[in-house]
């Protein structure tokens, strides 16, 4: 299965510890496209939730036929994680370049990447 940056996929994040995101969730693939083109075994995802907490690290994603979401969701950039591609299901849609850029900008701020 191949993935594109910005794809919305269902992923099983397993049993959480503490305040981690866990269990089956939709998530956005944020790995660079040049890496995805090499069919990696591991990709980076940002989980989505319909429960807004109003953290500065959340990006709102509107439900849209092109992204496959059924309801307005928050991309939880603070929960970015690496997962095996075997955990990912077929893409539901794609959030597009603008939302993906916003998510990557927040991740860069969280990681103190210039």
State CA 81 to chain mean position distance.
9
pTM for this prediction: 0.93
Beta bridge partners of 61: 73
| CA dist list (Å): 15 to 6, 23, 48 | 24, 6, 16
Tokens of 114: 């210039």
- For residue 18, the model assigns a pLDDT of 80
pLDDT digits over 93-114, tens only? 999 999 999 999 999 999 999 8
pLDDT digits over 13-66, tens only? 887 778 777 678 899 999 999 999 999 999 999 999 998 888 889 999 999 999
């Amino acid at each position: 299965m191949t993935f594109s940056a910005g794809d919305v996929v269902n992923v099983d994040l397993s049993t959480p510890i503490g305040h981690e995101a866990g269990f089956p969730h939709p998530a956005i693939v944020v790995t660079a496209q040049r890496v995805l083109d090499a069919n990696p075994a591991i990709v980076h995802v940002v989980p989505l939730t319909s429960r807004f907490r109003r953290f500065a690290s959340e990006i709102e994603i509107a439900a849209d036929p092109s992204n496959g979401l059924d309801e307005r969701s928050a991309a939880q950039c603070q929960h970015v994680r690496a997962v095996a591609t075997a955990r990912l299901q077929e893409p539901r849609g794609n959030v597009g370049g603008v939302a993906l850029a916003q998510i990557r900008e927040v991740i860069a701020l969280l990681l103190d990447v210039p």
